[in-house]
Amino acid sequence: MTERTAPETGTPPGAAANEKPTPNGAATPDPAGAASVTPALQTDADGTASAAVTPEAGAAAVDADGSASASKVVATAKADGTGSAARTAETGAAAARADGAGSASSAGESEVAAAKADGTGSAARTAETGAAAGKADGAGSATAAGESEVAAARADGTAPAAHTPETDADAAKADGAPTSGVAAATAGDSDAVPAKADGVGEGSAARVPEARHAAPDEVVDAADGDVGTDDDGDAGAVDDDRTAAAGPVGPDADAAAGDGAERPVVLRLTDVVKTFPGVRALDGVQLEVRAGEVHCLLGQNGAGKSTLIKVLSGAHQPDSGTVEWLGEAVRFANPQAANKAGIATIYQELDLVDDLSIGENAFLGHEPRVAGFVRRGTINKRTRDILARLGHGEIAPNRMVRTLPAAGKQVVSMARALSHDAKLIIMDEPSAVLAHDEVENLFRIIRELTAQGIAVIYISHRLEEIREIGDRVTVLKDGRTTAANLAARTTPTRELVSRMTGRTIEYVFPDRADKPPVADELLRVEGLGRPGEFTDVSLTVGKGEIVGIAGLVGSGRSELLETIFGARQAQSGKIYVNGKALRPGAVGAAVRAGMGMAPEERKTQALLLGEPIYRNMTLSTFSRIAKFGFTDAGKERVEAGKVADRLELRPRDVRRPVGTLSGGNQQKVVVGRWLLGDTQLLLLDEPTRGVDVGARAELYQVIHALAAQGVGVLLVSSEVPEVLGLSDRVVVMREGRVVRQARAGELDEDTVLDLVMAGSLMEGAPA
């Protein structure tokens, strides 16, 4: 089996090439630049130890071998987080986050593109060997405005990073003269070379979403190339520090270090243990969250994230270990106590009351009142203030929550958190319910919150989001902290994944060995339409073929799948299976015709959570296993056991209630249900949503194995790399229409994302 990583199919080198610095700017050794390095810097340059950037001290900026390019440079680039600089150096990852805070004129948002060159400074080579793009923001400075781009180029042995606000782009040029607003973290074996970010034009390429998508995977590439070669740590480790709103201060390393330490630790967990009957859910968790940071929590399903949240939010009490909140050891008796103390939790299933207004929801349980009467006016006024703080002053506080889209409800949840004056907001997979553009809005809000000094614990399975929004990452595995306070942007994907799983891959798509060149037609959909959902959809799926549907939430993709399966009745169009027309709107007919579907919402649409695994697996086949209407539980267990073996279900005991399984294993049960029958066509709706990395790879293999047996697969996924990597053919949907059908090899991630998002960017955002 050869492994193929997503960027090869998804991101063309061009995406990186666009954002790289110009050749001459990238890595041209420049005597003047070298000369501009201060003596202090040079002293540092030979010591790799200083490069370790004193993580605890909140470390100042550096490039990896410790030579802070500092003295006359205005904004100091910083690395913070445990040994992130050193680690970055070792793996040679070049992703960086720059800090726009340094200059008053600097950016509200700035972008970093870090490119790694092979030493010759050739730009083309830079792109090919792997570039990493990161996104930075300079929210630290209130007066910051505009946008700036940073291009950091790394030539082998040297790691210059330049932070170039728009206005000063030219000033950052080759002579490296320290100009206001320029941060050049320079390093080298001996000579420091500031980079020139030549013109904002090139740099701005980094701002397109594609660049962000590319980032994590590119980092892997970079890491692969450089492991073990660069122990002296000359990577451009540039990280941000929001509080370092320095202004034109002479940035000596110590002062910068002091800056880092200024962000106080608001929450510290030490050796927290929580045991449930039979399960040690938390087995020694360490966590440290600082004010104003976005602290990401990573871990597979079942790693203990949910339990940890519940401990923090007061829903559970730890058995042992300490929770320090604002410097005091605390023990929250219940969620109300945690709320009162300033910890708010936004759960994945938003706990809002649909038929109350936004304001009433925000102040639910602690309404301002006079003599028992709720002060509606006060609620609305304060809610309006809070919404304005969240950047949504346009939402009327008396609007009913029911009328809001998912993204809007999330804003209300955050408003509720702020109404409690929360200092820490815990978000459990907030992006899972959001469309692509809504995630951007969420991130904007999170940035505004952190700029106000509020700490955020952010949980997500999507590494690219963590790269974009996170500051530091703590990784949990089996209830333990396996890595704490990693730098969110610079830690290589490979390392994060391996900390979570012991494996080193994120997307791995097994090779299709025996793919039929021209598949016999299995499913043919002609002109299918349902008003308000999708119109005139035609597609085919062949035997043994995997067809992927790419599209945003609301593009009609899930509705299409359900209609094909008969769970919804089509208003127009025909569905043929094996050439025979299918009775519309009848799931039973579809199942008898050999179709099976794994719906989008596992828990609400597919599983009987209290029932044992085997009964869930045989839900569509128990009648066939039964004799004369009498069920045969023994045979069902045997059959389910075979499927469980095939899918490597854990735990393997099929008599356990399915509700006790992790998300990935639950998904295996749902897919396994259709392996039991003679399913010829499998419809998969978001098969890997909420599924951890390891189980995801296993699911991919299962899907391929099924296709190899001649089963046709029609799958829907929000994750474009997944659609591209898994499918033979791709159908792109937008606003209920098929906008493109092509073989997967003919499309790349950027093209698909463009197709998927064009024209619909702002739809579904809260009004």
Partner 1 sequence: MTGLPAQTAPAVKEALGGGPEPEGPRGNGWWKSDAGESTRRNLALIAVLAGLILIGIITKPDLYGQEGWWISNVWAILKLGSTVGVIAVGMTFVIIGGGIDLSVGAIIALAGVWSTTVATQEMGTFFMILTALTVGVGVGLINGFLISYGRLVPFIATLAMLVAARGLAAWISNKQTQQTDNRTINAIAAESFLGVPLLVWILGIVVLLGWVLLNRTTFGRRTVAIGGNVEAARLAGINVRLHTMMLYALAGLCCGIGAIMLTSIGTSAQAAMATNYELDAIAAVIIGGTLLSGGRGTIVGSLLGVVIFSTITNLFTLNALSSEVQNMVKGGIIVAAVLIQQFRFNSVSLFFKRNRVTAPS
By CB under 8 A, residue 630 contacts partner 1: yes
Give the per-residue contact string, 271-290, with partner 1 (x = CB under 8 A; - = no). Answer: ------xx------------
Q: Which is nearer to partner 1, 261 or 609 (CB)?
A: 609
Contact 143, 106 (CB under 8 A): no
Distance of closest approach, residue 561 Cβ to partner 1, in angstroms: 11
Whole-angstrom distance, CA of residue 152 vs CA of residue 162: 5
Q: Which is nearer to partner 1, 330 or 406 (CB)?
A: 330
Q: Which is nearer to partner 1, 486 or 625 (CB)?
A: 625
Distance of closest approach, residue 557 Cβ to partner 1, in angstroms: 17
Whole-angstrom distance, CA of residue 330 vs CA of residue 323: 6
Among 651, 709, 758, 767, contact with partner 1 (rule: CB under 8 A): 651
Q: Give all strands of the β-sheet with 712-717 in edge-to-edge order.
A: 595-598, 681-685, 712-717, 546-550, 729-734, 737-743
Among 400, 619, 705, 742, contact with partner 1 (rule: CB under 8 A): 619
Which residues within the stretch 657-716 sit at the binding site for partner 1 (CB under 8 A)? 657, 673
Whole-angstrom distance, CA of residue 262 vs CA of residue 60: 12
Give the per-residue contact string, 253-272, with partner 1 (x = CB under 8 A; - = no). Answer: --------------------
By CB under 8 A, residue 523 contacts partner 1: no
Picking from 271, 196, 239, 268, the residue whose alpha carbon sits closest to that of residue 25 is 196
Distance of closest approach, residue 93 Cβ to partner 1, in angstroms: 40
Among 32, 49, 142, 333, contact with partner 1 (rule: CB under 8 A): 333
Whole-angstrom distance, CA of residue 134 vs CA of residue 126: 16
Whole-angstrom distance, CA of residue 680 vs CA of residue 538: 19
β-strand pairing of 455-459 with 424-428: parallel
Q: What is the 3-class SS of 499-539, one letter each residue?
A: HHHCCCCCCCCCCCCCCCCCCCEEEEEEEEEECCCEEEEEE
Whole-angstrom distance, CA of residue 162 vs CA of residue 74: 11
Q: Which is nearer to partner 1, 433 or 633 (CB)?
A: 633
Question: For the range 206-210, what are the long-range contacts, defined as Cβ-Cβ under 8 Å and sequence gap of 24 or more?
Answer: 206/19, 206/111, 206/112, 206/113, 206/133, 206/135, 206/149, 206/151, 207/111, 207/147, 207/149, 209/436, 209/753, 210/11, 210/15, 210/749, 210/750, 210/753
By CB under 8 A, residue 310 contacts partner 1: no
Among 171, 633, 757, 765, contact with partner 1 (rule: CB under 8 A): 633
Contact 90, 494 (CB under 8 A): no
Among 34, 505, 587, 765, contact with partner 1 (rule: CB under 8 A): 587
Choices 115-123, 440-448, 462-470, 602-610 (CB under 8 A): range interacting with partner 1:
602-610
Q: Which is nearer to partner 1, 317 or 572 (CB)?
A: 317
Among 606, 691, 716, 730, contact with partner 1 (rule: CB under 8 A): 606
Among 134, 251, 510, 599, contact with partner 1 (rule: CB under 8 A): 599
Residue 293, helix vs strand vs coil: coil
Among 177, 249, 330, 765, contact with partner 1 (rule: CB under 8 A): 330
- Whole-angstrom CA distances from 241 to 88, 140, 142, 179 are 17, 8, 14, 20
Query: In this structure, which amino acid lies at residue 688?
Result: T
By CB under 8 A, residue 503 contacts partner 1: no
Q: Which is nearer to partner 1, 456 or 590 (CB)?
A: 590
Whole-angstrom distance, CA of residue 290 vs CA of residue 574: 58
Choices 93-101, 112-120, 165-173, 322-330 (CB under 8 A): range interacting with partner 1:
322-330
Among 120, 190, 229, 317, contact with partner 1 (rule: CB under 8 A): 317
By CB under 8 A, residue 328 contacts partner 1: yes
By CB under 8 A, residue 585 contacts partner 1: no
By CB under 8 A, residue 622 contacts partner 1: yes
Whole-angstrom distance, CA of residue 243 vs CA of residue 580: 66
Which residues within the stretch 352-411 sit at the binding site for partner 1 (CB under 8 A)? none
In order, the DSSP letters of 359-380 are HHHHTTTS--EETTEE-HHHHH
Distance of closest approach, residue 276 Cβ to partner 1, in angstroms: 10
Can you give the C-alpha Rg of the chain in angstroms? Answer: 27
Distance of closest approach, residue 392 Cβ to partner 1, in angstroms: 31
Whole-angstrom distance, CA of residue 458 vs CA of residue 751: 29
Q: Which two tokens stand for residue 566?
A: 């008969």
Among 40, 374, 626, 765, contact with partner 1 (rule: CB under 8 A): 626
Q: Which two tokens stand for residue 695?
A: 């189980």
By CB under 8 A, residue 623 contacts partner 1: yes
Picking from 135, 88, 216, 89, the residue whose alpha carbon sits closest to that of residue 497 is 216
By CB under 8 A, residue 608 contacts partner 1: yes
Among 656, 690, 760, 765, contact with partner 1 (rule: CB under 8 A): 656
By CB under 8 A, residue 612 contacts partner 1: yes
By CB under 8 A, residue 582 contacts partner 1: no
Number of residues near partner 1 (by CB under 8 A)? 47
Distance of closest approach, residue 677 Cβ to partner 1, in angstroms: 9
Whole-angstrom distance, CA of residue 168 vs CA of residue 302: 49
* Omega cis (within 30) before 165: no
By CB under 8 A, residue 583 contacts partner 1: no
Choices 458-466, 478-486, 604-612, 735-743 (CB under 8 A): range interacting with partner 1:
604-612
Among 504, 538, 605, 760, contact with partner 1 (rule: CB under 8 A): 605
In order, the DSSP letters of 456-500 are EEEE-S-HHHHHHH-SEEEEEETTEEEEEEEETTTS-HHHHHHHH
By CB under 8 A, residue 325 contacts partner 1: yes
Distance of closest approach, residue 667 Cβ to partner 1, in angstroms: 14
Name the burial class of residue 46, with classes exposed (0-12), middle (13-18) and buried (19+) by CB atoms within 10 angstroms of its CB.
middle
Residues at the site binding partner 1, with contacts judged by CB under 8 A: 277-278, 317, 325, 328, 330-334, 337, 340-341, 565, 567, 587-588, 590-592, 597, 599, 604-612, 615, 619-620, 622-623, 626, 629-631, 633, 651, 653, 655-657, 673
